[in-house]
Amino acid sequence: MHFSWSDVRARRLAHHGLTTPSANSPADVVSAMAGTHAQVMSAAELAIGLRLADATREDVRQALWTDRSIVKTFGPRGTVHFLPAKELPLWVGALSAAPPVPTPWTDDVRMTDEQTEQVLAAIGHILDGVELTVDELTDALVGTVGSWAGDLVMLAFQSNWARWRQVTHVAGMRGVLCFGANKGRKITYTSPGVRPAPEAASLKHVVEAYLRAYGPSTPQRFAHWLSAPVKWATTVFESMDLEEVTVEGTRAWIVPGDLDVPAPVESVFLLPYFDGYSYRVGNQPSGLMYPGRAKDRVLPGNFQNLVIDGEVAGLWHQRRSGRKVDITVEPLRKLTKRQHARLDEQAERVGVILEAKPTVTIGLVTVGGHA
């Protein structure tokens, strides 16, 4: 089977539920996206809402904190993600199986392998059935494993964090920690109460989830998306029953039988920060996703993307004030009358999801990208 890059763009838009929404719930959306990046909660809420017919941010919050059908934890690349609760044992199994990324910390900060295992075991025990702030968890860890866990040796955001926090993301990826509901402005952690599924089944699930969302793709791009060694990712691909195809003459792989090519659909989307459509880490080379001026204006920073027919065609920013949201859109090419109309429709949808009345201005986005 031979795919063009146009085919891949159409598949990505459809498989992510943008041009052809098929999900019935926030958890379905998160599953179709192979996880939703959730470093910025409002962005994650918008990303999911755009893929559902009538949802608002409250529907996402309901799924997260009341229904518990999605879990906020540390996923691919050790970054904050929403993952489907029913798939969490498989995700944890796969993330635990991936070789660890080398630590950036110096010897005076770094924890030994023995200390790491002590902390991870203690976190799982301490958080069982409770939600604790970082300070509360730190105190409990110091009382359990020793004062060294609380040493303020990690320089982070103009302050020093406790030593144990260098493995917070590892705790999430091992399944002993996830986010709980905030206490005021303070985040909390709790235990998700899951055990990793067997490694083979877990890797099969995550590779197939990735390929359905981003395929056709390669072991190299999967490794980049997951933050894992390319050699290991290649071995994982080779161990699985995957179907080889070509994209513009380049070898790539898909889930067997996943050969659909949706008809191209004229589309305009305002995608939020860290959207799981994920141009940087998904699949297609950046030069093809960020054509023309977008390569220099949008690609270097983490901006919210104006996406037209599957390509980044500009950037946008929103500023909320009470029940109003002011949306500034900076197109990098001339919009047609139809595209202007679709942009207005998309802005209205953004307003519904954010529960605010939108106004749209075409102009220069003067704020920088999100860190």
Q: What is the dihedral of CA 295, 15, 77, 6, to 10 degrees?
A: -30
Q: Quick one: 283 and 170 in the same domain?
A: no
Which pLDDT value is given to residue 299?
A: 85
Domain identity same for 183 and 288: no
Are both 173 and 80 inside the same structural domain?
yes
Cα atoms in the 13 Å half-sphere on the side-chain side of 263: 0
Residue type, 238: E
* pLDDT recorded at residue 349: 96
Is 60 exceeded by the pLDDT of residue 282?
no
- For 292, the domain range is 268-362
- Residue 262 predicted with pLDDT over 70: yes
* Mean pLDDT for the stretch of residues 100-111: 89
Mean pLDDT of 309-323: 93
Q: How many domains does the chain have?
A: 2
- The 10 Å Cβ neighbour count of residue 66 is 9
Percent of the chain with pLDDT over 70: 96
Structural domain ending residue among the three candidates 167, 190, 213 = 190
Residue 259 lies in a domain: no
In a domain, 226, yes or no: no
pTM: 0.94
Q: What is the pLDDT of residue 371?
A: 60
Asked if residue 41 is part of any domain, the answer here is: no
Same domain (yes/no): 288, 181: no
Mean pLDDT, range 310-325, rounded to an integer: 94
Asked whether residue 303 is assigned to any structural domain, the reply reads yes
- pLDDT at residue 202 in the model: 98
At 354, phi and psi to the nearest 5? -85, -5
Best CA proximity match to 172, nearest among 196, 147, 151, 140: 196
Residue 145 burial (C-beta neighbours within 10 Å; 0-12, 13-18, 19+): middle
Residue 62 lies in a domain: no
- The beta-strand segments (E) located in 23-166 are 36-37, 70-74, 80-84, 132-133, 152-156, 159-162
Residues 186, 272 share a domain:
no
Q: DSSP character for 217? A: B
**Residue 231 resides in a domain:** no
Residue at a domain's end among 190, 211, 233: 190
Label residue 79 left, alpha or beta by phi (over 0 means left) and psi (-120 to 50 means alpha): beta
Residue 297 lies in a domain: yes
Check whether residue 80 and residue 168 sit in a common domain: yes
261 domain-assigned = no
- Which of the listed residues 133, 165, 190 is the one where a domain comes to its end? 190
The pLDDT of 69-96, averaged and rounded, is 97
Phi, then psi, of 80 in degrees rounded to 5: -70, 125
